[in-house]
């Protein structure tokens, strides 16, 4: 790295300071605005070509669907922790901001807001801002669950995942609100890379908080998680990378989830079938085949005799 100026070199303390400053950034209103924009955009894209017509015919259902997606992580985490599910909407400024974003996405003049957000450069910037907010929500979700259930690592991970990827789970409820339901597309059946990444981040934050296997400072871990989310979001938007964890999952499933034993069972069955085809038939099998042929000949001769009798009559 001698070709870089001395001032450009990053040291450990600088990274920790950057992570701390990033963690102290207020999410409201700019980061929340990016989140609400993408959630309302997902509702409209899920509606397809009928999105505009649906928003005109069913404005309340359209608004409720957008609110469910916008506050999905808080709704799901409140449900898991036994808190009032309606509590995420207790702040009127959050609901008002989300409602304004919903109105602009669906009812702006000449559909200008929707068209602008769909532009790739703007979409990339908004998505990166959203990933920063995702890491913030996961970190705070794990911390909040750790205060309530300090001995339960599973609860901490579940709350962190629900905070970061709750929209994928709540989506089935949002679809019911709109009058459509696709249970075969549920997030639990086909988890997206976003959900898997949130699981990894939640595990990392939980282990770091408990000082188990992760001894790096929290600010540095937080910065790494933000970079992880931002990097793969850019890869998805610009390079079309959908699920980089899929090859690893295939190997793990083949080794640990019965794939090896299923392959061995198929190999044994195919070997048995090959041996059955190649071996010489026994005397009993030959006699049984001869008897079957004799029975067939008798049936054919009896059928021919019956046919000739009918013609003579």
Judged against a pLDDT cut of 50, whether residue 1 lies above it is answered with no
Domain count, the chain: 2
| Cα atoms found within 13 Å of the Cα of residue 200, Cβ hemisphere only | 13
Is 293 part of a structural domain of the chain?
yes
Question: Of the residues 221, 244, 267, which one is the last residue of a structural domain?
Answer: 244
| Percentage of the chain modeled with pLDDT above 70 | 90
Mean pLDDT of the chain: 87
Are 39 and 98 part of one and the same domain? yes
Conformation bin of residue 213: beta by default, left when phi > 0, alpha when psi is -120 to 50: left
Structure tokens at 225: 């998680």
Q: What is the value of pTM for the model shown?
A: 0.81
Are 277 and 297 part of one and the same domain? yes
Are 172 and 275 part of one and the same domain? no
Is 5 part of a structural domain of the chain?
no
Judged against a pLDDT cut of 60, whether residue 5 lies above it is answered with no
Q: How far is it, in rounded angstroms, from Cα 51 to Cα 215?
A: 49
pLDDT band at 7 (very low <50, low <70, confident <90, very high): low
Judged against a pLDDT cut of 50, whether residue 83 lies above it is answered with yes
Whole-Å CA distances, 292 to 103, 122, 281: 79, 77, 15
How many angstroms from the chain centroid is the CA of residue 64? 22
pLDDT at 200: 95
Are 148 and 261 part of one and the same domain? no
Q: How far is it, in rounded angstroms, from Cα 94 to Cα 53?
A: 27
Burial class of residue 139 (count of CB atoms within 10 Å of its CB; 0-12, 13-18, 19+): buried
Q: How far is it, in rounded angstroms, from Cα 35 to Cα 90?
A: 18
Question: ∠ CA(187), CA(90), CA(125), 5° rounding?
Answer: 55
Please check whether residue 37 is in contact with residue 69, taking contact to mean a CB–CB distance below 8 angstroms.
no
Is 1 part of a structural domain of the chain?
no
Rounded average pLDDT over 240-253: 86
Rounded average pLDDT over 181-202: 88
pLDDT band at 213 (very low <50, low <70, confident <90, very high): confident
Q: What is the pLDDT of residues 263-298, one digit of tens each?
A: 788 888 888 777 777 666 666 767 777 788 888 887
CA nearest 165: which of 140, 197, 122, 203?
197
Question: Of the residues 210, 244, 278, which one is the last residue of a structural domain?
Answer: 244
Q: What is the pLDDT of residues 127-173, one digit of tens each?
A: 999 999 999 999 999 999 999 999 999 999 999 999 999 999 999 99
Is 176 part of a structural domain of the chain?
yes
Cis peptide before 29 (omega within 30 of 0): yes
Q: Is 108 helix (H, G, I), strand (E, B) or coil?
A: coil
| Cα atoms found within 13 Å of the Cα of residue 215, Cβ hemisphere only | 1
Q: How far is it, in rounded angstroms, from Cα 108 to Cα 30?
A: 20
Q: What is the pLDDT of residues 163-186, one digit of tens each?
A: 999 999 999 999 999 888 777 778
3-state helix, strand, coil in the chain (%, to 5): 80, 0, 20
Are 135 and 191 part of one and the same domain? yes
Rounded average pLDDT over 12-31: 89
Q: How far is it, in rounded angstroms, from Cα 161 to Cα 313?
A: 86
Are 270 and 212 part of one and the same domain? no
Please check whether residue 129 is in contact with residue 30, taking contact to mean a CB–CB distance below 8 angstroms.
yes
Q: How many CB atoms lie within 10 A of CB 164?
A: 30
Question: Of the residues 189, 210, 244, which one is the last residue of a structural domain?
Answer: 244
Are 128 and 170 part of one and the same domain? yes
Structure tokens at 303: 């059928």
pLDDT at 4: 45
Are 299 and 234 part of one and the same domain? no
Please check whether residue 66 is in contact with residue 48, taking contact to mean a CB–CB distance below 8 angstroms.
no
Whole-Å CA distances, 213 to 70, 198, 207, 287, 289: 34, 19, 7, 71, 69
pLDDT at 284: 73
Range of the domain at 80: 12-244
Are 260 and 233 part of one and the same domain? no
Judged against a pLDDT cut of 90, whether residue 248 lies above it is answered with no
């Amino acid at each position: 790295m001698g070709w870089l100026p001395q001032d450009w070199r990053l040291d450990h303390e600088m990274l920790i300071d950057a992570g701390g400053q990033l963690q102290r950034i207020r999410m409201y209103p700019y980061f929340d605005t990016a989140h609400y924009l993408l959630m309302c955009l997902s509702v409209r894209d899920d509606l397809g070509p009928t999105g505009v017509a649906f928003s005109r015919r069913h404005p309340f259902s359209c608004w409720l669907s957008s609110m469910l997606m916008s506050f999905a992580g808080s709704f799901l985490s409140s449900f898991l922790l036994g808190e009032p599910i309606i509590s995420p909407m207790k702040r009127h400024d959050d609901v008002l901001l989300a409602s304004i974003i919903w109105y602009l996405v669906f009812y702006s003049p000449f559909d200008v807001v929707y068209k602008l957000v769909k532009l790739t450069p703007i979409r990339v910037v908004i998505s990166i801002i959203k990933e920063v907010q995702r890491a913030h929500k996961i970190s705070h979700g794990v911390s909040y669950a750790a205060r309530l259930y300090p001995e339960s690592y599973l609860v901490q991970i579940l709350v962190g995942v629900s905070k970061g990827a709750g929209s994928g789970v709540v989506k089935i409820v949002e679809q019911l609100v709109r009058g459509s339901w696709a249970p075969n597309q549920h997030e639990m059946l086909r988890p997206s890379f976003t959900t898997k990444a949130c699981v990894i981040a939640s595990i990392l934050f939980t282990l770091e908080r408990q000082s188990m296997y992760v001894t790096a400072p929290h600010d540095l871990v937080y910065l790494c998680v933000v970079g992880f989310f931002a990097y793969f979001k850019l890869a998805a938007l610009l390079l079309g990378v959908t699920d980089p964890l899929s090859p690893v999952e295939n190997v793990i499933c083949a080794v640990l989830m019965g794939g090896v034993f299923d392959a061995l069972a198929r190999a044994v069955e195919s070997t048995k079938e090959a041996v059955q085809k190649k071996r010489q038939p026994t005397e009993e099998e030959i006699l049984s085949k001869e008897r079957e042929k004799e029975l067939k000949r008798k049936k054919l001769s009896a059928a021919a005799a019956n046919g000739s009798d009918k013609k003579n009559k």
